Amino acid sequence: MVDSDHRERTAWVALLGHAPSRSSQRLLTRRAVGAGSSLAVLRTQLGQPTLLGDPVENALRTAQEHITAWERTGITVLTFDDADFPARLRTTHDMPAVLFGRGTMAPQEVSVAVVGSRAASPSGLRTAGRLAHGLARNGITVVSGLASGIDASAHRGALAANGRTVGIIGTGIRHAYPEENRRLHSEVAAAGAVLSQFWPDTPHERTTFPARNATMVGYAAATVVVEAGEHSGARIQAREAVEHGRPVLLMRPVLDRVSWARHFLRFSDVHVAQDVDDALRTLREIIDRPQDPRRPYDSLADAR
């Protein structure tokens, strides 16, 4: 029997572990939040006890065994009901209810996502590093995806300022993609955290990175696109931010080089920055705005 204090969080792992696809995970997450109990939804999924045993208790026991094994290898398991679950992420309709992490969790932190092309120009890399450095020096956590190019420069800029940085990755927590960034993963975890919404041994796939982008949008107060192509992951993240009602800041070269960026200007909370100083001023104005007064549960419940 799983300890009563941990039944609900263990039920999240059991519930989502039984989901056959990521779309079904999202559906079950919305149902569990709406019901106020992952355990109740797990019961509807697996059924009532029989003479052969209780399928829910069996699932909880297996889930707890997995959690214990993960934690023994230094992996933190966060579920929607944990105090350390990122508070801002709770307000997104596409929220992953289970996160795996390494490092130090700071659920109430204010963060900005800095993203862009993997094949970035030298000027784009410099801009990402300088912007992240400025954010970190002002006590803002820098979030990015630990990919090559802009992501890596953003993380390194925050590290150079002795600031906090968080990597939200598109693989399981036991993987690094690209492999050459494995050392950077360790440095980011030591200075902040590395987080994944995927089971720890999940390899990189075509669909994991767009899902990661949506989580990064939910985690951060705003997204800055430093440099991007017409069909880049940065475009996906900007679109997700607009759909979630989160501010987007486009650096001027993005606006000059890609057509989708000019299309995004019709949305009210999409901004353009001419340079790093302009970006930092705009981000401070965004961060200093009054926050949405709704309770964390409301946005997800509204999306059912």
Q: Report the C-alpha gap between 281 and 302 in whole angstroms.
A: 33
CB-facing half-sphere around the CA of 86: CA atoms within 13 A: 31
Q: What is the pLDDT of residues 223-251, one digit of tens each?
A: 999 999 888 889 999 999 999 999 999 99
Q: What are the angstrom distances between the C-alpha of 302 and each of 29, 72, 85, 96, 147?
A: 13, 37, 20, 16, 33
Strands 111-116 and 98-103: unpaired
CA angle centred on 61, ends 55 and 62, rounded to 5°: 90
Tell me if 67 sits within 8 A of 76, measured CB to CB. no
Q: Helical H runs in 21-149?
A: 22-35, 38-46, 55-72, 122-137
Tokens of 185: 């993963």
Q: What is the pLDDT of residues 203-214, one digit of tens each?
A: 999 899 999 999
Nearest of 79, 55, 85, 52 to residue 67 by alpha carbon: 79
* The pLDDT value given to residue 294: 40
* The pLDDT value given to residue 91: 84
Q: What pLDDT band is residue 94 in, cutting at 50, 70 and 90?
A: confident
* The pLDDT value given to residue 291: 65
pTM of the predicted structure, to 2 decimals: 0.92
Q: What is the pLDDT of residues 2-57, one digit of tens each?
A: 455 579 999 999 999 989 888 999 999 999 999 999 999 999 999 998 888 899 99
Q: What is the pLDDT of residues 177-201, one digit of tens each?
A: 999 999 999 999 999 999 999 999 9
Q: What is the pLDDT of residues 66-80, one digit of tens each?
A: 999 999 999 999 999
Q: Report the C-alpha gap between 178 and 169 in whole angstroms.
A: 11
Q: What pLDDT band is residue 292 in, cutting at 50, 70 and 90?
A: low
Tell me if 156 sits within 8 A of 128, measured CB to CB. no
Q: What is the DSSP letter of 273?
A: E
- In this structure, how many other beta carbons lie within 10 angstroms of the beta carbon of residue 281? 11
Instruction: Return mean pLDDT, the chain.
Output: 92
Q: What is the DSSP letter of 81?
A: T
Q: Report the C-alpha gap between 34 and 297 in whole angstroms.
A: 8
* The pLDDT value given to residue 5: 53
Nearest of 106, 99, 41 to residue 70 by alpha carbon: 99
Least confident of 86-95, 119-128, 149-158: 86-95
Q: Is the peptide bond before 210 cis (omega within 30 degrees of 0)?
A: no
